[in-house]
Amino acid sequence: MEYAPAVAKAVHPAPTLEWDTPLYQQAATQLDHALELAEVPDFVALRLRAPERAVILTLPIRMDDGRYELFPAYRVQHSSVLGPTKGGIRYDEAVDLGECAALAMWMTWKCALLKLPYGGAKGGVRCNARAMSVNELTRVTRRFTMELAPFIGPELDIPAPDMATNEQTMAWMMDTYSMQKGYAVPEIVTGKPVSIGGSLFRHEATGAGVVMVIERACSRLGWDLSEQSCVVQGFGNVGGIAATELHEKGARVVAVSDISGGVHAEAGLDIPTLHAYVAEHGSLEGYESGVERITNEVLLELPCDILVLAAREDQVTGENAGNLRCRLVAEGANGPTSNEGDRILAERGIPVLPDILTNAGGVTVSYFEWVQDLGRLFWDRDEIRRRLADKMSDAFDRVWNVSQDRGIALRDAALVAAIREVSGALEARGIYP
């Protein structure tokens, strides 16, 4: 294909702007590395290195004690080339523009890799959700949705849950947006309750998808999953479900953790009992029965076959990657391995199942949810699980084959496949005007 001279060459590098934090640099460095392998036109590389749009808000919220507090909030849309942008909303004290921009870029690659008609977005509110009441969280969510309303929409940008947000948060967002429109708009968010147009199996989708990818990797490596020992960091939506799926498939889950620390039992943990405890007490804190209490640092370095990182970014770094004693790493969280950590694991021959592939089950069933909402026609659980398994296997096989054929890491193979997908669309559309 021929390009007009004005766009054939990117003469300037992308400008360094406010989102250029260490996490964004991690995402941009991965992109630069993958661009060397992906062989796409320069103008594509230039466009994809920076997000298309970033919204910064400050939300004034009346707290339960009558005081007002101002919460910074963000929404970053990385690429709308393939369709509406899609990505989670997180409530966390570390949320900033760079974090949202990095996560939005990873969402673009994830959607493209899974061949979903979406680009990437991410947003969040900088707050300590665990210290806030339900009423305070409702007000934060409704105010955030109201201020975001001009920038989101079923054909524009579709939020979903992420860290410390859940089905209830999505229900408040859907209701607030629908009140503005004057009619119910279920397709404005995904990950909402089934009673208002949510999809069956969305809640389980990310964790179940993680284990589908692990299972497929085991079979390529000639391992039997039911004979493997597993450690899972993070016991929330992703890690909690992944631990359950591993347990149900007969693998021995020897340790799990959350923000309060970890529990370890070499003979294998009773995962259903741990879930019941967390449902009653809010976290693993104080659980002692038949387990050794450990820190998150110790947990990451336990000997095991499969280490599932399902808590948050930047957990395996240059500091601890040399001490890991697993045979395979599965990234359930986004960005849990730093670039330096990645390099050390590669040198040590420990394969990493990359986040944009491994945790893509969530956005894939979110896509199914949106399709069902738009069609007003709902599928049963088995149908959704089957469709998810097909999508995850197809993406896994493409990544594995590129990695084997070209002798590159699984992360690079996944990024190359994803970037080429976006590049194909951007080359066809061209740069406006």
Applying CB under 6 A, among 235, 287, 368, 396 the residue interacting with ligand NAD is 235
The region of 149-157, 179-187, 308-316, 343-351 touching ligand NAD under the rule CB under 6 A is 308-316
Catalytic residue among 122, 181, 192, 249: 122
Burial of 297 (0-12, 13-18, 19+ CB in 10 A): middle
Contact between 242 and ligand NAD per CB under 6 A: no
Q: Is 122 in the active site? A: yes
**Half-sphere exposure at residue 375, Cβ-oriented, CA atoms within 13 angstroms:** 10
Residues 281, 269: Cα–Cα separation, whole Å: 18
Contact between 362 and ligand NAD per CB under 6 A: yes
x/- mask, ligand NAD, residues 322-361, rule CB under 6 A, reads: ----------xxx------------------------x--
Contact between 124 and ligand NAD per CB under 6 A: no
x/- mask, ligand NAD, residues 43-62, rule CB under 6 A, reads: --------------------
Least distance (Å) between residue 219 CB and ligand NAD: 23
Total residues belonging to the chain? 433
Residues 272, 253: Cα–Cα separation, whole Å: 12
Cα-based distances in Å from 140 to 4, 60, 143, 211, 265? 47, 8, 5, 34, 40
Least distance (Å) between residue 153 CB and ligand NAD: 21
Contact between 400 and ligand NAD per CB under 6 A: no
Contact between 206 and ligand NAD per CB under 6 A: yes
Q: Which is nearer to ligand NAD, 141 or 423 (CB)?
A: 141
Residue number of the CB atom closest to ligand NAD: 236
- Residue located via tokens 């920076």: 50
Choose among 405, 381, 315: nearest CA to 352: 315
Which three-class secondary structure state does DSSP give residue 57? Answer: strand
- Within 8 A by CB and 6+ apart from 341, the residues are 316, 317, 318, 320, 321
Least distance (Å) between residue 112 CB and ligand NAD: 15
Chain-centroid distance, C-alpha 388: 16
Amino acid at 258: D
Contact between 234 and ligand NAD per CB under 6 A: yes
x/- mask, ligand NAD, residues 244-273, rule CB under 6 A, reads: -------------xxx--------------
Q: % helix / strand / coil in the chain, to the nearest 5? A: 50, 15, 35
Contact between 164 and ligand NAD per CB under 6 A: yes
Applying CB under 6 A, among 52, 162, 167, 421 the residue interacting with ligand NAD is 162
Number of residues that bind ligand NAD (CB under 6 A): 24
- Residue located via tokens 């054939």: 8
Least distance (Å) between residue 251 CB and ligand NAD: 19
Q: Which is nearer to ligand NAD, 61 or 238 (CB)?
A: 238
Q: Which is nearer to ligand NAD, 7 or 259 (CB)?
A: 259
Contact between 40 and ligand NAD per CB under 6 A: no
Contact between 236 and ligand NAD per CB under 6 A: yes
Strands 252-258 and 157-161: unpaired
Residues 128, 78: Cα–Cα separation, whole Å: 26
Residues 104, 123: Cα–Cα separation, whole Å: 8
Given phi > 0 = left and psi -120 to 50 = alpha, else beta, which region is 73? beta
Q: Which is nearer to ligand NAD, 185 or 365 (CB)?
A: 365
Q: Which residues are catalytic?
A: 122
Residues near ligand NAD (CB under 6 A): 161-164, 206, 233-239, 257-259, 296, 310-312, 332-334, 359, 362
